[in-house]
Amino acid sequence: MSLRSPSPEAGAPAASRLRSRVAHWIRRRQGPDGDPVALHRRRIYILPTALGAGYGLSLFGMLLASMNYSNSMGFALTFLLAGLGLVAMHWCHQNLSGTIARGFHLRPAFAGQPARLEFTLENPGRSARLDLQASCASASSAALDLAPGTSGEVHVDLPTQRRGRLVIDRIRVHTSFPFGLFRAWAWLHPECETVVYPAPAEHAPPPPRGGTEESGGRWNEHEGEDDFAGLRSFRHGDSPRRVAWKAAARGDELPVKLFAGSARGSVWLDWLSLGAMPVEPRLTVLCRWVLDAHAGGGAYGLRLPGTEIPPGMGPAHRRRCLGALALYPGGMGTEDV
């Protein structure tokens, strides 16, 4: 994962500069990718792996031994294995060639948690394709086997560190079937991006008080046993403090306590109500508040300098608020993956 800076090549070490040149060349060569993308022969690259080189070296050793002992059977074995290597190369290439990738989707995530890249690989051919894998940056998917005429879901969990926009630079679909001697791969450049929300603060200060719009948002008047309103299951971003541990001990789900009062009017989650906090921690607290407010079920609005999202409810509203937090200026900008 690298930060996209105005000139990505400046100051980078030679190897990575070369790599980025090659990446650009490949992208230009292939043109923009639509959805679906068919992995045609022309966009498949293949090279021996380190292991393949080891195999070659072993064969050379076997050849020398056969020559030295003038051993015909040794020659036969060496050549048979050499033939097998060649066949493996073709098999490997063909294992990938003609595969179709479609439906690229990148799910949003909270910083520090993986953003999941999803797409479908389809095998329109007449023979099975085995051990297909996708990788993006340093993350890889599980291996996928596709029987003839079937398709399968691939997901790659991309690690995230900072809030901001997450753009997929390119995806590599690869295979080293059958023996791991060769690796064939293709680069995909789908239009695919998402936002990484700030990580929800673990120890958030209490939300701003106040019952009316004028005096600032307020819900959860009495955060305590009194207002306990029920349980729902755990979601990403919930604070561990809200987990009903006693209830958790009884079942296998993590229940989270819901509190009454959440349905009471709308609240404003206001940037200014957090006083002199630095930007990033402030965003994490706001994130926590948004999650809690959403979990609470009431309407809530979000005020950031320069942005105001009027109170609302529901998943779309939550996404909008979190997105605003993720893209709040002064953050870490865009991440390339």
Of 2, 127, 161, 233, the one binding other proteins (CB under 8 A) is: 127
| Residue selected from 9, 24, 29, 124 as contacting other proteins according to rule CB under 8 A | 124
Q: What span, in angstroms and rounded, lies between the C-alpha atoms of 184 and 321?
A: 42
DSSP 71: -
Of these, 10, 14, 73, 316, which contacts other proteins (CB under 8 A)?
73
Tokens representing residue 152 in the block: 């399968």
Instruction: Give 23 or 82: the residue with its C-beta nearer to other proteins.
Output: 82
Asked if the bond preceding 281 is cis, omega within 30° of 0, the reply is no
For the CB of residue 71, give the shortest distance to other proteins in the complex, in Å. Answer: 6
Q: Is 133 helix (H, G, I), strand (E, B) or coil?
A: strand
Q: Are 165 and 333 in contact (CB under 8 A)?
A: yes
Q: Site residues for other proteins, window 176-195 (CB under 8 A)?
A: 176-180
Nearer to other proteins, 67 or 263 (CB): 67
120 binds other proteins (CB under 8 A): no
3-state secondary structure at position 232: strand
Q: For the CB of residue 130, give the shortest distance to other proteins in the complex, in Å.
A: 7
In total, the chain counts a number of residues equal to 337
Binding mask 76-95 for other proteins (x = CB under 8 A): xxxxxxxxx-xxx-xx-xx-
Output DSSP code: residue 240: G
Among 39, 66, 119, 200, binds other proteins (CB under 8 A): 66
Using CA atoms, how far apart are residues 112 and 114, in angstroms rounded to an integer?
7
Residues 219/206, Cβ–Cβ less than 8 Å: no
Strands 300-304 and 307-312: antiparallel
CB of 39 or CB of 106, closer to other proteins = 39
Q: Where on the chain is the footprint of other proteins (CB under 8 A)?
A: 51, 54-55, 58, 61-62, 64-84, 86-88, 90-91, 93-94, 97-98, 124-127, 130-131, 133, 142-145, 148-149, 176-180
